[in-house]
Amino acid sequence: MSFTVRDAFWNKYRTLVADVMLPYEYDALNNSLADASIEKSHSLENIRIAAGESEEEFRGLVFQDSDTAKWLEAVAYSLLYKPNADLEKKADEVIRLIGKAQDEDGYFNTYFKLNRPQSRFTNLLEAHELYCAGHLIEAGVAYFEGTGKRTLLDISRRFADLLYRIFLTEGKKGVPGHPEIELALVRLYRATGEKNYLDLAKHFIDERGTDPDFFVKEAAARDWNVWTPNPKDTDYLQATRPVREEENAVGHAVRAAYLYTGMAMTAHETGDETLLAACKRMWRSIVDRRMYVTGGIGSTAVGEAFTADYDLPNDTNYCETCAAIALIFFAREMATMTNDAEYADVMERALYNNVLASFQQDGTHFFYVNPLEVDPALAGKIPLLRHVFPSRPGWHACACCPPNAARLLSSIDRYAFHESEGVLYADLFLGGTYDSATAALTVESALPRSGEVTCTLTRGADITLAVRIPSWSKRTVIRRNGEECVPTMQKGYALLNNLNAGDAIAITFDMTPRKIYANPKVAADFGKCAVSVGPRVFCFEDVDQSAPLEGACLKRGGALRLVQSDAGDHGGFYVRAEGTMSQSCDGLYSYHAPDEQPCELIAVPYHIWGNRGLGRMKVWLPER
């Protein structure tokens, strides 16, 4: 099955990825950006050195190979919707270098090949060998699917075969310190049908947490480290107990969500109900108690990690771009396995907000951390905010996020629909055409500017279309061939049965601006509210207001008015909200309440914040 995106909103970003982000990211990986002040990557140069085509020394972080692998994966997807001979030629050359650098036994990792050839798999805790292997495998699968070329797939398979021999045939103990290879191995299994890859993924999942002291023993057996990690912090490493016994999402948020994705994919392929139950517990822990309204996860910069239930600070948070992307992977797999719309709801939330906010509208500047509140006078300066940037840098020394965003956006067509037991599920409402052995249909979508979506069946008979009814739509109207209908609801999907070629389903989602309130247990948001329209969370920036945001409040019961306009860079529309502005006191403290004046506050989509100069930004404002 396939979905071809023809959508004004999303094609803007897919074109940006293909025409701007991928060429720019190649130059960054190649150390050839024109701006010499931008941090250098060294990723491609390391591969040239490992291939014997350069005599420099390894530079960059231990996992630098993974950035190139994600870039290759993004290129593979982009070539399907926007062929580019120059980009494909560059990708083919990178693949040639990887093949030349690969050892005879299938091993590939430039850090170990160049710096520690005798130390393979002796530092699973922090050296990211299996993480890098996972991204290489994903790139191999994607490049084969996108271009039909097998070279990178074969490279990946040789490496995966080596890992199977080491960890299963020879019985080496160990699990990845940074999960990711689990989901990659299942992808490789799905692409090739080779069950060894699924067995290895299941092995890594089954072994995790069975020996909480594994990383301590591993560290004691070697005389070197990359950094200075704490192998005893098993919660951080998701290794305190076996995954089927874990109750909460803990530790490094990216690693956790990649692990949960691998668990869900393995459960989907094997029918393991205990593993599925564990995935559902992790999901509830995240979305009920540890997720931001933007779909971001990771409450603290200390370990880039989850903390405790309802601890969701807005200014010191992390919400790494990669974490939101990993959550989307997890959500997508759970949606396709359970046919429950809740998962697609969260997928949509993280996509429209956290992920889209991670890069500048010019496609050449990127956030790593995605805060919900920023003051440029403090961000990046005081100790607790040194990880927060008030504007997007051109690159990062640790640049996992930019190519991750590129690979997600270039493959967004894969998230729109799924089929299960003869039912066609509409998960994301992207305009385009869907085609499978079962049916074909066209989708016309005005989201996110308006709530009008029409699905027309162009091929098929007696088809059931399941339309997700988003949690943000207070009232949804569905018309079948012009007549309003009330379909049966099942797990958040409206079921339209007995559809035949020519039938049209018109859906009108409620795009009325709404206020969002957090659970009172979320101390950071108590007494405050946020604004949303459709799937998008909005924010307030200084640049739009009559006075600085520091004194702004929303009026309780005040009206919200949606304004559609192409004037200015508001992302197509903005919200006018009734509010008040407080005047500053004369001193640091006062016995008199500040004077308040009625005002109109303007909110814009969160994903475009920071595109119009430096200034304060807030998602949550006090309401009174």
> Cα(215)–Cα(237) distance, rounded to whole angstroms?
9
Return the DSSP state at 442: E
CA distance 319 to 250: 14
**Average pLDDT rounded to a whole number, residues 96-123:** 98
CA dist., res. 572 & res. 17, Å (int)? 20
Q: Judge whether residue 569 has pLDDT over 60.
A: no
Going by pLDDT thresholds of 50, 70 and 90, the confidence category of residue 565 is confident
State residue 545 phi and psi, 5-degree precision.
-100, 165
How confident is the model over 394-419, as a mean pLDDT?
A: 97
| Per-residue pLDDT tens digits for 448-491 | 999 999 999 999 999 999 999 999 999 999 999 999 999 999 99
Residue 584 clears pLDDT 80, i.e. is over it:
no
Say which residues have a Cβ less than 8 Å from residue 223's Cβ, sequence separation at least 6: none
* pTM over the 0.75 mark: yes
CA distance 578 to 493: 35
What per-residue confidence (pLDDT) applies to 571? 60
Planar angle of CA 406, 258, 43, nearest 5 degrees: 50
Other beta carbons less than 10 A from residue 4's beta carbon: 16
Task: Cite the beta strand spans of 500-572 per DSSP E.
Answer: 504-508, 514-516, 528-533, 536-541, 552-554, 560-564
Residues with catalytic annotation? Answer: 304, 400
> Rounded CA gap, 292 and 26, in Å?
32
What count of residues does the chain have?
A: 624
Report residue 190: phi and psi, to 5°.
-65, -30
**Position 582: which residue type?**
S
- Supply the angle between the helices 85-101 and 43-50 in degrees, to the nearest 10: 50
Residue 568 has pLDDT above 70, yes or no: no
Q: Is the pLDDT of residue 556 over 90?
A: yes
Task: Please give the Cα distance from 60 to 547 (Å, whole number).
Answer: 44
pLDDT tier at 225 (50, 70, 90 boundaries)?
Answer: very high
Q: What pLDDT score was predicted for residue 210?
A: 98
Q: How many Å apart are CA 131 and CA 136, to the nearest integer?
A: 9
Sheet holding 417-420, edge to edge: 417-420, 423-426, 463-468, 493-499, 488-490
pLDDT at residue 69, rounded to an integer? 98
The separation between the first and the last C-alpha atoms of the chain, rounded to the nearest angstrom, is: 51
Position 586 scores a pLDDT of 78
Given a cut of 80, whether residue 367 has pLDDT beyond it is yes
pLDDT at position 567: 59
Is a pLDDT exceeding 80 seen at residue 566? no
What whole-number distance in Å separates Cα of residue 534 and Cα of residue 476? 12
pLDDT of 385 over the 90 cut: yes
What local confidence, expressed as pLDDT, does residue 594 receive? 87
Mean pLDDT, residues 415-443: 97
Where is 601: in which H helix or E strand?
Answer: strand 596-605
Degrees, nearest 5: CA angle 487-489-495: 55
In whole angstroms, give the CA distance from residue 364 to residue 330: 27
Please compute the mean of the pLDDT values over residues 86-90 and round it to a whole number: 98
pLDDT tens column, 300-349: 999 999 999 999 999 999 999 999 999 999 999 999 999 999 999 999 99
pLDDT tens profile 295-306: 999 999 999 999
* Of 350, 138, 401, 345, nearest in space to 262 by CA: 138
Residue 226 Cα distances to 122, 125, 545, angstroms: 12, 10, 47
> Given the DSSP bridges, would you call strands 504-508 and 452-459 parallel, antiparallel or unpaired?
antiparallel
C-alpha distance from residue 240 to each of 172, 236, 359, 363, 395 (Å): 20, 9, 35, 40, 35
- Say which amino acid occupies 155: I
Instruction: Say which residues have a Cβ less than 8 Å from residue 193's Cβ, sequence separation at least 6.
Output: none
Q: How many CB atoms lie within 10 A of CB 195?
A: 10
Q: Confirm if 385 and 1 have CB atoms less than 8 A apart.
A: no
Mean of the pLDDT values across residues 394-398? 94
**Average pLDDT over the chain, rounded to an integer:** 96
**151-163 burial: b if 16+ Cβ within 10 Å, else e:** bbbebbbbbbbbb
Ramachandran class of 391: left when φ > 0, alpha when ψ lies in -120 to 50, beta otherwise: beta
Q: In the prediction, which pLDDT does 585 show?
A: 75
pLDDT at 564: 85
Whether a cis peptide bond, with omega within 30° of 0, leads into 448 is yes
Helices (H), 61-180: 65-81, 85-101, 110-115, 129-147, 151-164
Domains and CATH numbers, the chain: 14-414 (1.50.10.20), 417-508 (2.60.420), 514-622 (no CATH)
